[in-house]
Structure 1
Amino acid sequence: MPARIDLYRSSFDDRERQIARMGAFTVSGFRYDSGIEALRIRNARGEIIVLPFKGQQIWRAAFDGRDLTMKSMFDEPVDTQVYLETYGAFMIHCGLTGVGAPGPADSHPLHGELPNAPFQTAWLEFDEAGERLTVGGTYRYTVAFSTNYLATASIGLGADSALIDVSLSVENLKQTPMDLMYLAHANFRPVDHGELHYTANYDAGSVRVRRSVPAHISPKPDYMDFIAKLAEDPLPHHRLDPALAFDPEVVFSIDMLADDDGLAHAMQRHPDGTADYIGYRPSQAPLCTRWICRTPDQDGLGFAFPSTSEVEGYTAEKAKGHGVELAGGGVWRIDIRMGLLTGAEADGVEADIARVRAAAS
């Protein structure tokens, strides 16, 4: 029978304390100096730090001696719901009333209300064999005359695995439809001369660079020339040459292809043969966003953000026909796998990607 431990904010304090131990797993809890509650979850391969009551973010992920998380200016999470005032987590749920930068007609914040949402419940669960651990939690968001939903998040990790299973389900508690927009902001650390491989056609029609400049960034003089070149041919960005101008950021929208099992795959292949990996079902999130930011202060690679829409804000995305119309009482769900692949595992995924691309050509 699985073992479940309910978590409470009052159980966390400034001193890190062990909460549970089973097999290869050790779980401890603590508060950052900012007051944010955190879980450190260790297995045989490494550890993740989860913020159970703050968006169920994965703040850090490290496996096989390597920190997978982007470099940012934040050493710890900040007690705020403003997106850019607490930044740099490994994995952030974005949405749900809008994603991306809000336009003039939008009322949602940058990337919506979900990234730093104050989850009302959280828990740990071990399977009967002690081979799998899950962190879960719920967040109910209600605005009179507008929105009423329940989001249930989960983060699963195997005892000897460097791959994390992230899921989110959303139940529309209204009797009328709701518009839902979602993006999974998984922020890996880019490596110089890393190579991007993914199940898509590598042409400008399938890999589209964003031409607009959102208000929160200030591009350098040569930025738009670089964007114009990528708009004609996206191939140069597949190798992360440190000389490329990913400053402050470059964003792509990608039409991902699925394999025979319905899965899309993407990875950053490191020079040592290992890889960072994302896998998901386009049937759940039909679009893919790619974000690359390489500056002296922030170094991040979101090589595949499963998403229901692009990142121009609710009004613009609604006009494009993007997003999900979730019926009253309906449930929407997404399941994503992310983390680190060994060299042998990466060889297998690269071969799968090549097969999918060849079949589509």
Structure 2
Amino acid sequence: MHLDHSDHVFVDLVPEQFGASETIVARYRGLVATAFRYRSGVAGLRISNAKGEIVMLPFQGQQIWDATFLGRSLTMRSMFDEPVATRDYLSNYGALFIHCGATAMGNPGPDDRHPLHGDLPNAPYQDVQLIAGSNSEGPFMALTGRCRQTVAFSHDYVMEPTVRLQLDASSVAVDIVIENLKRSAMELMYLAHINFKPADGGRLVDTVADDSADIVVRQTLPPFFTPSESYLAYRDAVVADPSRHRLLTKGEPIDPELVLTMRAKADLQGWAHALQVHPDRTADFVSFRPDELNYAVRWITRGADQDALGLVLPATAEPDGYLAAKERGRLVRVVPGEKFRCALRFGAMDADAAAQREQAIAALRGEGR
């Protein structure tokens, strides 16, 4: 451990610290971090406060595998009871939050050569650190690390995310920095894959207008999906009336998936907000900055094996692969030595906070109350 000039404490984490029995790594003013290892061999870091906890994979993608706040798990239902040590996206698919990119993301088109959602989802991390300190919001703990992706004649960049949990929060703050180390420009794509558990009777509330200009429904499916007639009828109904998808009715045939690419309006501080309001009036939320991630992708699947709500997956482009993004002029150009930055906030809200946020969204949409 050492202190820097800001009096934050940095604890270097190495795989050898993560054993079969859960052990305390650090305590700080009501926050506790513990290290353990899943039966699969994947290392897990649990950071807890009075309102709940997050469980991260510090050396594999720096995914948030699970989060529990307000007495409930926020995470999608999947086929995976625990994370799997793999680089393949669909062979370890059950996390609350996954980084996607950074030279490509989304479903590869027929002529694309990149893996589904790029290199970052399960990428190895080095220089992993737990940070403890205080800021304007009070005490916090955070996890950070460095992931360098280098391919000769192609790309060389460093991904450096930070996931922060405040003492009194039921949500996390995520800050992402991607630096281009190559001596030529980098074509960057990024998507934040945030996968909540859908609530039957849940309502989706956001700053997106319900029209075909601001909500585009993806009509093509990846080749490994075979849709049913009921699914196609549901998708056609959403194309005709985009507001149709905003109520999560039990038994809706959203299998294999519904993908919407949306344009969200920001508030005066530059943030766009989205809510899944549960029947008990608590909510899940995502907040992001459209000036950094200008596409709000929504992904829903409600099948027997997966039940997930990508309320908003903030992104630099539609999730249709590299060549589609290049053709549409969506690639972000990062010059040598430059850093791409973006920020996210997501998690759970109690009923009072959710009601206030819903009123703010309604005001931004110009709706009367």
Match of 1:230 in 2: 238
> Displacement of 1:121 after TM fit?
2.0
CA distance in 1, matches of 2:60, 2:148: 13
> Displacement of 1:2 after TM fit?
1.2
What is the identity, as a one-letter code, of the residue corresponding to 1:62?
T
Matched, 1:51 2:57: yes
1:284-325 Cα distance to aligned partner (Å, 9 max, x none): 001010000101111100010000011111001110111211
Match of 1:77 in 2: 83
Match of 1:343 in 2: 351
CA distance in 1, matches of 2:233, 2:127: 48
Larger mean CA deviation between 218-227 and 278-287 belongs to 218-227
Match of 1:27 in 2: 33
Matched, 1:142 2:150: yes
Preserved CA contact (<8 Å) 1:6 1:124:
yes
What is the identity, as a one-letter code, of the residue corresponding to 1:7?
L
CA distance in 1, matches of 2:214, 2:354: 24
Match of 1:162 in 2: 170
Larger mean CA deviation between 220-229 and 21-30 belongs to 220-229
Matched, 1:176 2:181: no
Preserved CA contact (<8 Å) 1:174 1:328:
yes
Structure 2: any 5+ residue segments left out of the alignment?
A: 1-6
Match of 2:211 in 1: 203
Pairing 1:1-361 to 2, within 5 Å after superposition = 1-128=7-134, 131-358=139-366
Preserved CA contact (<8 Å) 1:101 1:111:
yes
CA distance in 2, matches of 1:278, 1:181: 20
CA distance in 2, matches of 1:202, 1:356: 14
CA distance in 2, matches of 1:251, 1:216: 15
From the superposition, tell whether residues 225 and 179 of structure 1 become closer, same or farther in structure 2 (CA, over 3 Å).
same
Match of 2:4 in 1: none
CA distance in 1, matches of 2:38, 2:71: 23
> Displacement of 1:104 after TM fit?
2.1
Preserved CA contact (<8 Å) 1:3 1:128:
no
1:148-178 Cα distance to aligned partner (Å, 9 max, x none): 0011011001111101001211000012111
What is the identity, as a one-letter code, of the residue corresponding to 1:352?
A
Preserved CA contact (<8 Å) 1:53 1:121:
no
From the superposition, tell whether residues 184 and 128 of structure 1 become closer, same or farther in structure 2 (CA, over 3 Å).
closer
CA distance in 1, matches of 2:50, 2:248: 30
What is the identity, as a one-letter code, of the residue corresponding to 2:313?
F
Preserved CA contact (<8 Å) 1:122 1:137:
yes
> Displacement of 1:218 after TM fit?
2.2
TM-score, reference length from structure 1:
0.97
Preserved CA contact (<8 Å) 1:57 1:93:
yes
Runs of at least 4 residues of structure 1 off by over 6 A? none
> Displacement of 1:222 after TM fit?
2.5
CA distance in 1, matches of 2:305, 2:30: 35
SS of corresponding position for 1:258 = coil
SS of corresponding position for 1:40 = strand
CA distance in 2, matches of 1:211, 1:177: 33
- Identity percentage of aligned residues: 43
SS of corresponding position for 2:358 = helix
> Displacement of 1:33 after TM fit?
1.1
SS of corresponding position for 2:360 = helix
> Displacement of 1:146 after TM fit?
0.6
> Displacement of 1:128 after TM fit?
4.7
Alignment: residue pair count:
359
Pairwise CA RMSD: 1.2
CA distance in 1, matches of 2:100, 2:13: 23
Larger mean CA deviation between 320-329 and 300-309 belongs to 320-329
